[in-house]
Structure 1
Amino acid sequence: MAGYADDLSLAHLLADTADSISMSRFRALDLRVESKPDLTPVSDADTAVEQALRGTLARARPRDGVIGEEFGHTAAAAGPGSRRWVIDPIDGTKNFVRGVPIWGTLIALLEGDTPVAGLVSAPALGRRWWAARGHGAYAGKHQHAATRIKVSGVHRFADASFSYASLTGWADTGRLEPVVNMALSAWRSRAYGDFYGYMLLAEGALEVMIEPELSLWDVAALIPIVSEAGGTITDLTGRPPTDKTAAIATNGLLHETVLTTLTTPQR
């Protein structure tokens, strides 16, 4: 995978470190959990993972910037095409602290503002997903046990499996009614939540995953994986998701239907 092979290898190395730390703390009786100012939880595993990954990146990619959920932004070296790594040490912290195995580490590489590579590692599920721009998306237990993945060919919403996150969040946007209507009209609806719905979409196991608002570290790694699997992921305006925007991911064939449903004014 010329161009990003070294970066993806580094991402896998980072994920190995993250998996070792996070699994050692998963369901630990002495796990420490605090509330951040926005009242979301943060565990000692979140901070330990991000600190470890930042340390590795400082040695391996000293000119690259780093953006992390827990410790903010470290600037990249000046110049065109500045590169930044984006880290969500544990996506799904609420699952993590309750002992639910659907959580993972998200690692992305940005060139400028564009996510060009992404990796999601879910060690409690024994699975990873990764992609780099122009070279396809893959899933497996590790880098050398991989299968190329692609989205489904379902083209009717009535035949689609529909996933969503945060009904409360959608209610806050004033779009709860169309979300509920889609859930009722789809072939199947389930709230898998966090990164997992997007990865199931990339594998072709479902067709639509929507979320009312994501931070950059929540979404950056997902964009290359969904896109390289043949799907489409945008905000509500049809542009690429960025910080604090909605994320609308589909198999591509249903994207306009979903966007139209979510953005048409309700009576």
Structure 2
Amino acid sequence: MRTVSSSLDFALRLADAADEITSARFRAQDLKVARKPDRTPVTDADTAVEDTIRAMITERFPDDDIAGEERGGEIGSGRTWVIDPIDGTKNFLRGVPAWATLISLVIDREPVVGVVSAPALAKRWFAEATEGAYTDDGRKLSVSGVLSLDDAYLSTTHLGSWVDFHSREAYLRLVDACWENRAFGDFWQHCLVAEGVIDVAAEAIVNPWDVAAVEIIVKEAGGRFTDLKGTDTFLGGSALSTNGHLHDAVLAKLSS
């Protein structure tokens, strides 16, 4: 495997610690599940992972900020570690193996390191600025070369979120323009864009910890990542990953 920076190496060690916790709790008969104020679920594994990662960061980088799904925090100037302890909690609690821990180091609101670790899929994706994106078997990632929406493979999350947060009609226009569509959802669809096996991943509603890590992975694989308005940010409340060639055409379908 290629040489990694100290920050990426540390992020990978954070992912190792997270995997140990999540793998032990996945499909556990005594898994504890609660409902947050926004009615999304949280398990004892979510909180255990975030607390463990926070403790490791505080010990190693006491001056760094931390923002996570379960314990909060702000993303401002300087260094901030952005954590989603389990992206795909609904999958996790139902026993579906498509879930992951997402870890990103953000400097001045720009992701510079990203790690997505999905132990139940036996997959890990990671990237750092200017150094490319890779899987944990050392394979360098590269987006697809598909040039037309007619040939594009599209993925999204729950269709109902488009009704509530964007436009169901706009999404259906995009679906109709594409060759194929599925709902792989969450982190996985963006990582599949980075791998070049699908071409477009679109989400009508996201939080920063949902996409900080995948943004840099997609970009370092040669793709493009914006919000649904086309703004180059993971802080826009929505997410669009593409192979780059298709990005403007997707934005036109979603805005027309």
Q: TM-score, normalised by structure 2?
A: 0.96
| Cα distance in 2 between the residues matched to 1:246 and 1:82 | 23
Q: State the match for 1:61 in structure 2.
A: 61
Gaps of 5+ in 1: none
The CA RMSD over aligned residues, in Å, is 1.6
Residues matched between the structures, number: 255
Q: Which amino acid aligns with 1:239?
A: T
Q: Does 1:213 align with 2:209?
A: no
Q: State the match for 2:46 in structure 1.
A: 46
Gaps of 5+ in 2: none
1:97-112 equivalences under 5 Å are: 97-112=93-108
Aligned residue for 1:214, secondary structure, equals coil
Q: State the match for 1:137 in structure 2.
A: 133
Aligned residue for 2:230, secondary structure, equals coil
| Cα distance in 2 between the residues matched to 1:107 and 1:174 | 27
Q: State the match for 2:222 in structure 1.
A: 230
| Cα distance in 1 between the residues matched to 2:74 and 2:55 | 12
Q: State the match for 2:117 in structure 1.
A: 121
Deviation at 1:184, TM superposition (A): 2.9
| Cα distance in 2 between the residues matched to 1:205 and 1:92 | 20
| Cα distance in 2 between the residues matched to 1:178 and 1:169 | 12
Quick check: 1:91–1:106 contact (8 Å CA) kept in 2?
Answer: yes
1:6-45 equivalences under 5 Å are: 6-45=6-45
Aligned residue for 1:117, secondary structure, equals strand
Give the alignment partner of residue 86 of structure 1, picking from 72, 82, 93: 82
| Cα distance in 2 between the residues matched to 1:230 and 1:153 | 10
Runs of 4+ displaced beyond 4 Å? none
The share of aligned pairs that are identical, in percent, is 47
Change (3 A) 1:161 1:26: same
Q: TM-score, normalised by structure 1?
A: 0.92
Q: Which amino acid aligns with 2:86?
A: I
| Cα distance in 2 between the residues matched to 1:188 and 1:119 | 28
Quick check: 1:213–1:244 contact (8 Å CA) kept in 2?
Answer: no
CA offset digits 1:182-232 (Å, max 9, x no partner): 223321110000000000000000000000011010011111100000000
Change (3 A) 1:174 1:246: closer
| Cα distance in 2 between the residues matched to 1:75 and 1:177 | 33
Quick check: 2:165–2:205 contact (8 Å CA) kept in 1?
Answer: no
| Cα distance in 2 between the residues matched to 1:210 and 1:224 | 16
Deviation at 1:61, TM superposition (A): 1.1
Deviation at 1:178, TM superposition (A): 2.4
Deviation at 1:74, TM superposition (A): 7.2
Q: Which amino acid aligns with 1:87?
A: I
Q: Which amino acid aligns with 2:73?
A: H
